[in-house]
Amino acid sequence: MTPPTALIIGGGVMGLSAARGLARQGWRVTLLDQDPLPNPRGSSHDQHRLIRHAYGAEQGYMAMVDQAFLAWDRLWAELGACHYLPTGVLAVAEAPGGWLAASRAALRQAGHAVADLAPDTLPARLPMLTAAGLADAFHTPAGGVLLADRILASLVRLCAGLGVSFRQARVVALDPEQGRVRLVDGSTLAADLLVVAAGPWLPRLLPARPVRASRQVVVMLQPPAALQAAWVAAPMLLDLANDGGFYAVPPVAGTSLKLGDHRFAPDGDAEETRDASPAEAEAILALARRRLPGLEHYRVLEARACYYDVTADERFILAPLGGRGWVMGGFSGHGFKFGPLLGEALAAAVADPALGALLPAWAAGLAPPPPGLLASGA
């Protein structure tokens, strides 16, 4: 019997995870991306991404993190290598209540370990920090750093081994009803299944979907020699300042210390440059300067932009497009951690229409996982 065919648009963590899931179920998969893989312009391309349970009051996504860890374990077993470093999470805030308090309550209700910390004790634990202005802090031992670039390269090799075909081509138009795409050279391709996982290029291909591209700037640093060991051993830092906070990813496994902004830029175009201006870099450093004394002694290695695909409510879209199509989008800055899980879920859903009907609400963090989803191994 001839196996069913699938076209996947986009070679980030979502497209590659979907390709893996479908290939493991016997689909003949072709993955299209306009750039060589791993695509350095893609949302997934970076030294690291984070995985953590703290999600404010969003208990749906918090619960999905447990399922995501299991999916990553399945991937590590398949790869024969683990590209994850546990660090724990330190969350600090300048005022009581808000996201930090909501996260603490949700975590404890779900049975996760949370240790409240007196802010004035932090510098003794973490000498790179100052507690000035802090009102609240907690630490959770679960969570850590996913080595994103290594994961993407491993997924490309794994998918190739599963028989996935890769083609560098730019898609300019879609026909989900027919499972057909038109390429920039005017040629067309068609398959039994079309999966659109185009990240920040999604608004160009599906303008009716409520997704926009957002330009996000990160700054990569080398800490002073006296603080390097402390940073390598540090937890990821989530700083919830009143007028704009930042996050810091520790320089584990030979990576750089990364600083970024929690907030999403109002707009962006995925075709714009990834170079960050000095003003954009300074805006990130200014957020961190009040928490990291002596920041002027850190060496700036790089400042660059990436582009996320974001919905207004920051909820994921994993849904049928009608006919032969599915869309994976709206993953903003927190979708990477769910890549293998959502790829497995998509593969299960296209084989089971009843499951597929329940998947969008679960992926949006608004419903528990459909029973058949976990039974499928996802």
pLDDT confidence bin for 370, thresholds 50/70/90: confident
pLDDT confidence bin for 143, thresholds 50/70/90: very high
261 and 154 inside one domain: no
227 and 300 inside one domain: yes
Spell out the residues 6+ positions from residue 213 whose beta carbon is closer than 8 angstroms to its own: 200, 201, 202, 203, 267, 268, 269, 270, 307, 308, 309, 310
305 and 325 inside one domain: no
96 and 219 inside one domain: yes
207 and 217 inside one domain: no
231 and 256 inside one domain: yes
C-alpha closest to that of 342 among 56, 11, 67: 67
122 and 161 inside one domain: no
292 and 317 inside one domain: no
Residue 32 has a pLDDT of: 98
**Contact between 294 and 224 (Cβ < 8 Å):** yes
231 and 301 inside one domain: yes
Render pLDDT for 74-130 as a digit per residue (tens, 0 to 9). Answer: 999 999 999 999 999 999 999 999 999 999 999 999 999 999 999 999 999 999 999
Main-chain dihedrals φ then ψ at residue 284, nearest 5 degrees: -70, -45
**Burial environment of residue 141 by CB neighbours within 10 A (0 to 12, 13 to 18, 19 or more):** middle
**Contact between 8 and 18 (Cβ < 8 Å):** yes
- For residue 187, is it within any domain? yes
Residue corresponding to tokens 């190739």: 160
The pTM (predicted TM-score) of the whole model is 0.96
Q: Strand, helix or coil at 220?
A: strand
- For residue 261, is it within any domain? yes
Render pLDDT for 34-59 as a digit per residue (tens, 0 to 9). Answer: 999 999 999 999 999 999 999 999 99
190 and 329 inside one domain: yes
255: domain CATH number is: 3.30.9.10
End residue of a domain, out of 310, 334, 358: 310
Q: Give the neighbor-by-neighbor strand order of the sheet with 193-196.
A: 165-168, 28-33, 5-9, 193-196, 325-329, 317-322
Q: Would you state the structure tokens that stand for residue 212, as one six-digit string?
A: 């926009």
- For residue 299, is it within any domain? yes
Render pLDDT for 318-353 as a digit per residue (tens, 0 to 9). Answer: 999 989 999 999 999 899 999 999 999 999 999 898
- For residue 79, is it within any domain? no
How many residues comprise the chain? Answer: 378
Residue 17 has a pLDDT of: 98
Instruction: Read off the amino acid at residue 234.
Output: A
DSSP string, 281-340: HHHHHHHHHTTSTTGGGSEEEEEEEEEEEE-TT---EEEEEETTEEEEE--TTT-GGGHH
304 and 185 inside one domain: no
- For residue 194, is it within any domain? yes
Which secondary-structure segment (H or E) carries 102? helix 98-109
pLDDT confidence bin for 378, thresholds 50/70/90: low
294 and 216 inside one domain: yes
End residue of a domain, out of 310, 338, 353: 310
Residue-number span of the structural domain to which 222 is assigned: 89-141+212-310
Q: Would you state the structure tokens that stand for residue 102, as one six-digit string?
A: 């909501």
Looking at the structure of the chain, the number of domains it has is: 2
Render pLDDT for 262-277 as a digit per residue (tens, 0 to 9). Answer: 777 777 899 999 999 9
